[in-house]
Structure 1
Amino acid sequence: MPIFNPNKLRRIGREVFERIGATPEEARIVADLLVSSNLAGHDSHGVVRIPQYVSGVQSGQIQLGTTVEIERETDATAVVNGHWGFGHVTATEAMHIAIQKAQKSAVGIVTVHQCNHIGRLGGYPVLAAAENMAGLMSNNGHGADLSMAPWGGLGRILPANCLAVAFPSDRDFPIALDLTAATAAGGKMRVALARGERVPKNWLIDAEGNPTTDPAAYVHGNAALTPFGDHKGYGLSFIFDILSGALSPAGCTRENSPVTGNALFVQAIRIDAFQPISDFKAEIGQFIDYVKSAKTAPGFDEILVPGERSYRTGCEREANGVPIEETTWEQICETAKKFDVEI
């Protein structure tokens, strides 16, 4: 598998998006967030998405040069319309709005509609953590993006709704959780297919409810993702759908929704409204030390805390390069050449 300098990937992403008409700021935000997903080890939401977003612009699904609009607000809340611009740009702005409101009101909550795919949710709550706040974000598929079966049911009925949370800590990385309510995200099926790999048998079920390990059955067929932990993942997906959909004009998941994108629930919490930030970070530090003091289970060398593995992966890939599947790189090169972007 070829290895690439992350700065090269950022440049290619920025230049491709600018060549299709994105503003320099739009191009920078999207490219940086895509590469940050690769750095964190979430390759399914990294530069593999460049051709997808180019197609979205060309089809008119992604509108360039749009401005995020606050349609309704209070001191602590806002309802935001992304006007179908780049989802990454809309989500970034929504988190900034939540942070600004939390600075004044201790808590800021924003819901978002008319927002395209935002990629990895974990890229946004860390913006709040960098401001010594807690950040939280959940999503649904803007009523559509059906990919997961409900617990006890068959077929693609729900999206693989997600939750991401981040807290500042006294370590070199924030405590950060980024999960999907599915056993594995749909993007991982595309990565497995690109690598010619099978997937674990509990990730997918076919139309009759039988497990399948063929990622093509999902990418090109009608196989459905399974909820993690059976009723637990299903229940969480239901809650994420309500937070993100029912609290915004996008609505909850339904049959024959006219559009696909992401509706969002975004929250920032100003920690020093509850505890001095130094005390909070010290408490997080002792909690980390306590958990890591446990005896390791067979097959484990150490105990990691949420966000630590992605941080380590990021350090390693920033220094030594990002691995990209050959088929993915070929698709990126093909896209770049169409717009005379140097590879």
Structure 2
Amino acid sequence: MPNIHYKPLTRLLTDILTAVSTPQDIANIVASSLVESSLRKVESHGILRISQYLNQVNEGWIIPSSRPSVVNQTPIMSIVDGKHGFGIYSLDCAIDISIENAKKNKFSIVGLTGSSHTGRIGWFAEKAATQDVITIIFGGGAHGSPDHMSVAPHAGIERVMATNPITMGFPVANYAPIIVDISTSMTSEGKIRSYKELGQKLPFEWILDKFGQPSRKADDFYDGGAILPFAGHKGYGLGIAAEFLTGILLGGAHELNWLVLALDSAAFVGRDQYDQESAKFVKNLKESSVAEGFTEIMVPGEPEEHASTQYKSQGIPLTDSSWQTITKISHEAGIFDLDKYLIFNEDFDP
């Protein structure tokens, strides 16, 4: 299977989504987020998620035409109801509100409820950071939704929490933004799914089987197992904090709730000093001595930035099975002429 340029691939996913009654603007944002994840080699949240989303549309879990609404708002606080629409679009709207309020008032806090799967959260933190806004984003809320519990507590074996991600984005002068994008569990369900689809064992014992034994078999997770918290009690504690800030503070979740804290990076010391200090800090990190076995020191978000640069020029590689999945989905959406989406052209207009 040849590599596919990201622009026609974005157009293909957009066309698939509009075929199931998704408005054009919503479809383009959802498609762009998924393709951007694949560009950055985060396949667990990349283009193959489109299959999950379409299944959820067919099941009524996602209402494709639904748009979020602000149900409560003050100058610095907003609560957004995703109304069971596409989670990527809902969180994108919440991020836009966060950026606007942070620029006006230096600080903003936005809660999102009624959301479906939101894709790679780093995508939203990057958007804010490019506009000089720092974000801290918490996800959680599955304690009241057993279908979305996947993580065992420290010293436990039953699923009682979600992966409860925490993402932070920081603008840095003369560098790409620093993006810390982690789950509070050893891995995400999406990564386990990726290994399962490839027929490969997990690289580490990220999970327990249904009997509470450590396992590297992806199937053991789907057969009643659970993901472990990362770093034992430390990840467990952070996961609990994320749950309090989302599921408990904001109320019951459709899938996960989200809390976005946003801060104008110039709020305290001013733009010039922030830019100088942030660039100096990152420069010192990258120019410090490299340990044996490594070639360079990178900062969070940098490996993904390198991958994006590479794939934008060389195309996104897809396995034959992945392309077969995309082809099947396309045909179900009434799209049969796929050759036009295989054109490798930087000037392609999606």
Shared fold (TM-score greater than 0.5)?
yes
Give, in angstroms, the shift of residue 109 of structure 1. 0.4
AA aligned to 1:30 is V
Give, in angstroms, the shift of residue 275 of structure 1. 2.2
Distance 2:307 2:272 in 1: 27
Distance 2:212 2:319 in 1: 31
Residues 1:324 and 1:278: Cα distance change in structure 2 (over 3 Å): farther
1:219-234 equivalence runs, <5 A: 220-234=222-236
Identity of aligned residues (%): 28
Q: 1:194–1:325: 8 Å Cα contact kept in structure 2?
A: no
Q: 1:2–1:326: 8 Å Cα contact kept in structure 2?
A: no
**Is residue 2:186 matched to residue 1:183?**
yes
**Is residue 2:312 matched to residue 1:310?**
no
Q: 1:56–1:62: 8 Å Cα contact kept in structure 2?
A: yes
Distance 1:33 1:195 in 2: 23
Give, in angstroms, the shift of residue 294 of structure 1. 2.5
Work out which of the residue numbers 321, 325, 334 in structure 1 matches 2:328: 334
TM-score, structure 2 normalization: 0.92
1:117-136 equivalence runs, <5 A: 117-136=117-136
Give, in angstroms, the shift of residue 330 of structure 1. 1.5
Distance 1:281 1:326 in 2: 45
Which residue of structure 2 lines up, in the alignment, with residue 157 of structure 1?
160
Aligned positions, number: 334
AA aligned to 1:51 is S
| Secondary structure in structure 2 of the residue aligned to 1:322 | coil
AA aligned to 1:170 is A
**Is residue 2:3 matched to residue 1:3?**
yes
**Is residue 2:150 matched to residue 1:147?**
yes
RMSD between aligned residues? 1.5
Which residue of structure 1 lines up, in the alignment, with residue 270 of structure 2?
276
TM-score, structure 1 normalization: 0.93
Give, in angstroms, the shift of residue 64 of structure 1. 2.4
AA aligned to 2:271 is I
Which residue of structure 1 lines up, in the alignment, with residue 256 of structure 2?
262
Uncovered stretches (5+) of structure 2, i.e. residues with no partner: 339-350
Moved beyond 6 Å, runs of 4+: none
Which residue of structure 2 lines up, in the alignment, with residue 238 of structure 1?
240
| Secondary structure in structure 1 of the residue aligned to 2:214 | coil
Distance 1:329 1:238 in 2: 39
Q: 2:35–2:46: 8 Å Cα contact kept in structure 1?
A: yes
AA aligned to 2:280 is Q
Which residue of structure 1 lines up, in the alignment, with residue 65 of structure 2?
65
Q: 2:171–2:265: 8 Å Cα contact kept in structure 1?
A: no
Distance 1:328 1:224 in 2: 26
**Is residue 2:164 matched to residue 1:167?**
no
Q: 2:152–2:160: 8 Å Cα contact kept in structure 1?
A: yes
Distance 1:163 1:329 in 2: 32
Deviations 1:227-250 (A, max 9, x none): 110111111111111112222132
Distance 2:262 2:163 in 1: 23
Give, in angstroms, the shift of residue 141 of structure 1. 4.5
| Secondary structure in structure 2 of the residue aligned to 1:247 | helix
Q: 1:48–1:328: 8 Å Cα contact kept in structure 2?
A: yes
| Secondary structure in structure 1 of the residue aligned to 2:322 | helix
Which residue of structure 2 lines up, in the alignment, with residue 207 of structure 1?
210
Distance 1:281 1:103 in 2: 16
Distance 2:190 2:267 in 1: 38
Distance 1:207 1:59 in 2: 28
| Secondary structure in structure 2 of the residue aligned to 1:340 | coil
Q: 2:129–2:135: 8 Å Cα contact kept in structure 1?
A: yes
Give, in angstroms, the shift of residue 2 of structure 1. 5.0
Work out which of the residue numbers 283, 289, 298 in structure 2 matches 1:295: 289
Distance 1:2 1:226 in 2: 37
Which residue of structure 1 lines up, in the alignment, with residue 24 of structure 2?
24
Q: 1:111–1:247: 8 Å Cα contact kept in structure 2?
A: no
Q: 1:124–1:137: 8 Å Cα contact kept in structure 2?
A: no
Which residue of structure 2 lines up, in the alignment, with residue 257 of structure 1?
none
AA aligned to 2:63 is Q
AA aligned to 1:300 is F
AA aligned to 1:235 is G
Uncovered stretches (5+) of structure 1, i.e. residues with no partner: 252-259
Q: 1:113–1:264: 8 Å Cα contact kept in structure 2?
A: yes
Distance 1:9 1:217 in 2: 33
Distance 2:159 2:329 in 1: 30
Choose 119-128 or 81-90, whichever is displaced more. Answer: 119-128
Q: 2:65–2:85: 8 Å Cα contact kept in structure 1?
A: yes
